[in-house]
């Protein structure tokens, strides 16, 4: 009986730690999002090769993808050159999109991360999946803070991930978009200027 009690306590302790971690993550996301929305976030611009950021985001999703047997694919145009961005912020935005694409995917599905030139002075980043898709009535609200579709199937989330993606894009003078077909998958798009003008940069 003592062994059973100890095992139960261990499970309870683990659940408490997980809950604490989720609360800490939520608070951090709320603070970061608030700063970006108010234009108070410190943005450290530097010219970077976009492939490095996307490659890191894909690598960080590999373990979760393996659990669901989801295939990850990265396609980057060779002639993009460098893009002036905040590495950590863009990594967070792309990481959110890739993580969601894996989380909401079907068993044995696929995620494609693509970057290409867009209109000469901009770059487009696309993250596509073969997952459950987004209901048409939910699509206009997915970038709203705390919005969670009732059809998420009980998948845990804070409702801030896509709001952060939008805030990061807009802080760089860019934009976001999404298109989706239920039961077939979704594609999320970030469009960024390659060299944001100094007047458009939202620094602290």
Percent helix, strand, coil in the chain, to 5, is: 45, 25, 35
Model confidence pLDDT, tens digit, residues 93-117: 999 999 999 999 999 999 999 999 9
Q: Evaluate if residue 175 carries a pLDDT over 60.
A: yes
CATH topology of domain 2-200: Heat Shock Protein 90 (3.30.565)
Give the whole-angstrom CA distance, residue 158 versus residue 38: 20
Mean of the pLDDT values across residues 15-32?
A: 48
Q: How confident is the model at residue 198 (pLDDT cuts 50, 70, 90)?
A: very low
| Residue 196 binned pLDDT confidence (cut-offs 50, 70, 90) | confident
Q: Kindly report, residue by residue over 117-169, the tens digit of the pLDDT.
A: 998 899 999 999 999 888 899 999 889 886 666 555 555 555 678 988 998 99
- The reply to whether the predicted model has a pTM over 0.85 is no
**Which residue ranges make up each domain of the chain?**
2-200
Q: Is 53 exposed, middle or buried (0-12, 13-18, 19+ CB in 10 A)?
A: buried
Alpha carbon distance 137, 149 (integer Å): 9
Q: Does residue 7 carry a pLDDT above 70?
A: no
Q: How far apart are CA 195 and CA 121, in angstroms?
A: 8
């Amino acid at each position: 009986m003592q062994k059973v009690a100890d095992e139960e306590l261990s499970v309870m302790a683990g659940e408490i730690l997980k809950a604490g971690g989720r609360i800490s993550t939520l608070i951090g996301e709320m603070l970061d999002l608030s700063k970006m929305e108010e234009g108070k976030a410190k943005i450290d611009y530097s010219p970077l090769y976009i492939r490095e950021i996307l490659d890191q985001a894909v690598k960080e999703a590999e373990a979760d993808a393996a659990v669901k047997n989801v295939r990850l694919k990265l396609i980057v145009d060779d002639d993009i050159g460098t893009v002036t961005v905040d590495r950590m912020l863009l990594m967070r935005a792309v990481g959110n999109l890739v993580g969601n694409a894996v989380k909401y995917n079907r068993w044995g599905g696929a995620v494609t991360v693509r970057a290409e030139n867009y209109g000469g002075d901009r770059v487009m980043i696309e993250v596509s999946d073969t997952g459950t898709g987004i209901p048409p009535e939910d699509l206009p609200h997915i970038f709203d803070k705390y919005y969670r579709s009732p059809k998420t199937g009980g998948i845990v989330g804070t409702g801030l991930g896509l709001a952060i993606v939008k805030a990061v894009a807009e802080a760089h003078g860019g934009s976001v978009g999404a298109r989706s077909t239920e039961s077939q998958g979704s594609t999320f798009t970030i469009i960024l200027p390659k060299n944001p003008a100094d007047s458009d940069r939202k620094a602290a």
